Amino acid sequence: MKTVLGLLALVAASTGALGATAKAPSVNKAPEMPHYRFENFTTANGLPDDHVYTVLVDGDRIWAGTDNGLALYEEHKWKTYTTKDGLAHRAVLSLALDHNTGDVWAGTMGGLSRISGGHIDTFTQLNSGLSNDVVYGVAVQDEYVWVATAAGGCRLNLRTGQWDLYNERNTPMVEIWVYGVSASPTKVYYAVWGSGVLEYDQSTKRWDKYEDPDGETEMVLFKDQGLIHEITSSVSFVDNVLWVSTYFGDSRYDGRYWHNFLTKDSGLPSNFTNSVKGVDANRAWFCTDRGLAYYDGANWAVYRPSLTTGKPEMMVRDTAGHVTSIPVTTAPAHNYILGIDFQGSDIWVATARGLSHGTLQR
């Protein structure tokens, strides 16, 4: 059976304009991009584990899903929830907030847990309609909890307690390894490893599917003609625009046109992207294995420890392809980025070696 670490190890090693073989820094004036001062958290200052799969901003509280428990940062202190507290499994892969109730949902390697008022309820294959105990993604929309698992997707109706299962029998998916989910009042999207992206229309109750039009697994033959690759790792639907991350590049879809991003013609530091999170219709953050990338609709910025020296690094790429090195003194805890969330103008970043808080410098 595939494991999270096994799948993440499927690295499509590639370098581009902002990768290890980046162009020499340009003398051109760099476009204005956000600067951050990063504070990094590890086991040395409270985290239960340095491997952080996901992060969730909950007002003034920060939740971090780690390889050894669910961590809560509140009033400058860390608290950890483990299996002794009722957590389904120590490895927490995904998090979602129910804005109506304040409940936090945690997808783990051993089931789905709900943290409500300090109490934890857990849903598994044995005590509920959960598709599979390995929960890669979770999203809450109104009275529904949408779940992405290793054996398809599913949906829990919080009012009735009814579960609906989605797999190869009743949806267009071929593979059933569902890696991510993004839910809105109009559309729900599933990222399916090897089956592209599934779209569920909330009004018509119908499914649609987006696939790589060239069918190639090793190269992109028809750029901007559709989804860039079948092996999708996450989806983010915001302002009626769909952002998709894959292990071979990334895509943006506005409902009519596709635009794809590759290291060779964009500011992506790597084509191997663990997750993407849209800010709005034009802006998004990309969590890659070679750093954190920000796209403002035209220009790019990458934040990371240098791949060669380990020193803090910020690189900016403009629309003409000019790359500028920006002097910085801090960087995310590691260049292997797994997740991101926003706290006002600040960012929180999950990495393979710690959790990072980026404070915007004005």
Instruction: Outline where DSSP puts E strands in 202-290.
Output: 207-210, 232-238, 241-246, 249-253, 258-261, 273-278, 284-288
| Residues shown for the chain | 362
Instruction: Check residue 1 and give its pLDDT.
Output: 41
Predicted TM-score (pTM) of the model is: 0.91
Contact between 296 and 283 under an 8 Å Cβ cutoff? The reply is yes
Contact between 70 and 83 under an 8 Å Cβ cutoff? The reply is no
Model confidence pLDDT, tens digit, residues 240-273? 999 999 999 999 999 999 999 999 999 999 999 9
Q: Is the pLDDT of residue 357 over 70?
A: yes
For the chain, which domains are there? 4-21+51-310 (2.130.10.10)
Instruction: Check residue 222 and give its pLDDT.
Output: 62
- How far does the chain reach from its first CA to its final CA, in angstroms? 48
Mean pLDDT of 301-325: 97
Instruction: Check residue 218 and give its pLDDT.
Output: 55
Least confident of 57-71, 210-224, 296-310: 210-224
Q: Is the pLDDT of residue 14 over 90?
A: no
Model confidence pLDDT, tens digit, residues 74-124? 999 999 999 999 999 999 999 999 999 999 999 999 999 999 998 999 999
β-strands 337-343, 354-361: how paired?
unpaired
Give all strands of the β-sheet with 273-278 in edge-to-edge order: 273-278, 284-288, 291-295, 300-305, 312-317, 323-326
Instruction: Check residue 213 and give its pLDDT.
Output: 83
Contact between 233 and 179 under an 8 Å Cβ cutoff? The reply is yes
Percent of the chain past pLDDT 90, that is, above it, reads 87
Q: Which residues pair with 177 in a beta bridge?
A: none
Q: Which residue has the tokens 């219709």?
A: 281
Mean pLDDT of 328-335: 98
Contact between 241 and 253 under an 8 Å Cβ cutoff? The reply is yes
As a 3-state breakdown, the chain gives helix, strand, coil percent values, each rounded to 5, of 5, 50, 45
- Higher-confidence residue: 3 or 202? 202
**CB-side exposure of 286: number of CA atoms within 13 Å?**
35
Instruction: Check residue 21 and give its pLDDT.
Output: 41
Query: Which helix or strand (DSSP H or E) is residue 6 part of?
Result: helix 4-8
